[in-house]
Amino acid sequence: ELKVEQNPLFLSMQEGKNYTIYCNYSTTSDRLYWYRQDPGKSLESLFVLLSNGAVKQEGRLMASLDTKARLSTLHITAAVHDLSATYFCAVDTNAGKSTFGDGTTLTVKP
């Protein structure tokens, strides 16, 4: 059974600081997703990572994938308050259903 683990589960950081969220998964997969979820809202797709070494950047967020290590990272650069949310990684199994991590709740403080 595929397991997806994120760490940390909770992250409090100051504006302007950098930090990395980690996502480990237990079996081979060919695609990994990062989502953002605001309280009481649905999931917003951030990144789709399709191959080993893939790196994608959008604003202050950058995601990478190492399929050999079964590891993805979401790096936050110079955090701002608007980035406060819960971030999920999800890994595709066969036929496209996704297995999600438990999420990392990020709080950015002034």
Binding site for another protein (CB under 8 A): 4, 31, 33, 35, 41-45, 48, 88, 90, 92, 95-103
Q: Rounded to an integer, what distance in angstroms lies between the CA atom of residue 110 and that of residue 33?
A: 29
Which residue, 4 or 85, has its beta carbon nearer to another protein? 4
List phi, psi (to 5°) of 15: -55, 140
Q: Taking the complex as a whole, how short is the minimal distance between the CB of residue 105 and another protein, in angstroms?
A: 9
Q: Return the percent helix, strand and coil in the chain, to nearest 5.
A: 5, 55, 40
Q: Taking the complex as a whole, how short is the minimal distance between the CB of residue 78 and another protein, in angstroms?
A: 27
Q: Taking the complex as a whole, how short is the minimal distance between the CB of residue 99 and another protein, in angstroms?
A: 7
Which residue, 61 or 91, has its beta carbon nearer to another protein? 91
CB proximity list for 59: less than 8 A, separation 6 or greater: none
Q: Taking the complex as a whole, how short is the minimal distance between the CB of residue 20 and another protein, in angstroms?
A: 19
Which residue, 36 or 79, has its beta carbon nearer to another protein? 36
Which residue, 77 or 105, has its beta carbon nearer to another protein? 105
Q: Rounded to an integer, what distance in angstroms lies between the CA atom of residue 83 and that of residue 94?
A: 32
**Tokens 């997703």, residue located:** 33
